[in-house]
Amino acid sequence: MAHPLSIAIAGGGIGGLTAALALARKGMDVQIFEKSSRFNPVGAGLQLSANALCVLDQLQVTGLRDAGLEIDHVRIRDGLSGKDLAQIPTPADPKTVVLSRSSLHECLWQAVQACPNILTVMDAALVDAQDNGTSVSLTTQSGTTASADVLIGADGVWSQTRASVSGTQPAYSGRMAWRAALPMDQVPSGIARDTVTLWLAPKAHLVTYPIDHGTSLNAVAFTQGDWNEQGWSAPGNRDEFSASFSPWTSVVQELIDIPDQWLKWALCGVSPTHNWTKGRIALLGDAAHAMVPFMAQGAAMSIEDGAILAQMLDCATPETVPAQLKTYEILRKSRVQRVWDQSFQQGRIYHMGGVMRLARNTAMRFGGDALGKRYNWIYDWRARSQQ
């Protein structure tokens, strides 16, 4: 009998762990090389929509709903007046789950640890990968070397693996994100504690939702500006931040004053148009197509990628790996491009000012259920066999 394919994955983030599980469940031998010495996922919260949840459910990732909260709508409010603009229903089957990034990571990690054919190497930043035609050899920063039939670059927006595939660099989007988690008992009473609320105003918006079983409120604010440094957790300047929200409704200003510190990061994107695969090396998730987070779909796309990549490699032989990886890229690209474009467009809509803002608000007030149905093409996706 032929040996199962051996797969090396650079990056043990959401996309890397999901791909590892999907590949291992199909009998492949997987090694994950993770740069950090211990998992410490940064970023506060995530919304997991039906398209991603169905993949994780199928992979038997458990505990997601216990760790988070199921929601049935998104509330949209005007940030200046505080008025409600719309309540957009979210998919019912399965319901969207909001949870902290660390909870999602922990659920994935538990599932990975229970898989005998996944080996994880920590403190192992990939620094070089060479495709020699029949296998890929990789080297980590500490000098460890390994080889595999396939290398998957799931190493995030500042991917090292991407250098071996297309060399494309991330581009700054002109937007910054600021995040804080607030103990729920300190949250002002005018802020919803049981669902996602989007607050929209010119050149800025704010997203709030419960995490940690509803004991904390995740708050992420988005502003425009030129600051553009790598990393996820630079300390934010409170005066600069508060100034963006000074004309906002008082309940938002009250919320913004509560945390001792807001952490900021620059939102960068990688346009999906470049090559995601070359020979035996493939990219997935943010390494292939980092997007601005305004449709809350970046993690979901990396989860979908993992499911399809595993389907493609399930029917590959060592000789057909490059062709199967190319098919994965073709199958994923048009959908990811559409979500990527929609995320960008959504950011423009959220930050409208003047007459455009008033027109947007009116459309939202009278849009009703139709607003939610506009995005069914995202949430109704399922990882059915692509063969």
Ligand X SMILES: Cc1cc2nc3c(=O)[nH]c(=O)nc-3n(C[C@H](O)[C@H](O)[C@H](O)COP(=O)(O)OP(=O)(O)OC[C@H]3O[C@@H](n4cnc5c(N)ncnc54)[C@H](O)[C@@H]3O)c2cc1C
Annotate 142-198 with DSSP letters as a single string. TS-EEEESEEEE---TT-STHHHHT----EEEEEEEEEEEEEGGGS-TTS-SSSEEE
Exposed, middle or buried by CB within 10 Å (0-12, 13-18, 19+), for 271?
Answer: middle
Stretch that binds ligand X, among 67-75, 148-156, 347-355, 370-378 (CB under 6 A): 148-156
Is 47 a binder of ligand X (CB under 6 A)?
yes
C-alpha of 356 from chain center = 29
Among 20, 46, 69, 180, binds ligand X (CB under 6 A): 46
Q: How open is the CA angle 116-121-122, to the nearest 5 degrees?
A: 130
User: DSSP 3-state assignment of 25?
Assistant: helix
The CB-of-296 to ligand X minimum distance in angstroms stands at: 3
Is 244 a binder of ligand X (CB under 6 A)?
no
User: DSSP 3-state assignment of 78?
Assistant: strand
The CB-of-62 to ligand X minimum distance in angstroms stands at: 19
Is 297 a binder of ligand X (CB under 6 A)?
yes
State which residue has the least CB distance to ligand X.
Answer: 13
Interface pattern 175-214 for ligand X (x via CB under 6 A): --x-------------------------------------
CA distance 288 to 233: 22
CA distance 134 to 318: 7
Among 180, 206, 220, 221, binds ligand X (CB under 6 A): 220
234 - beta bridge partners? Answer: 264
User: DSSP 3-state assignment of 202?
Assistant: coil
Residues 102-141 that bind ligand X (CB under 6 A): 125-126
Is 298 a binder of ligand X (CB under 6 A)?
yes
Is 13 a binder of ligand X (CB under 6 A)?
yes
The CB-of-299 to ligand X minimum distance in angstroms stands at: 3
The residue (of 298 and 347) whose beta carbon lies closer to ligand X is: 298
* Interface contacts to ligand X, rule CB under 6 A: 10-16, 33-36, 43, 46-47, 125-126, 154-156, 160, 177, 220, 285-287, 293, 296-300, 302
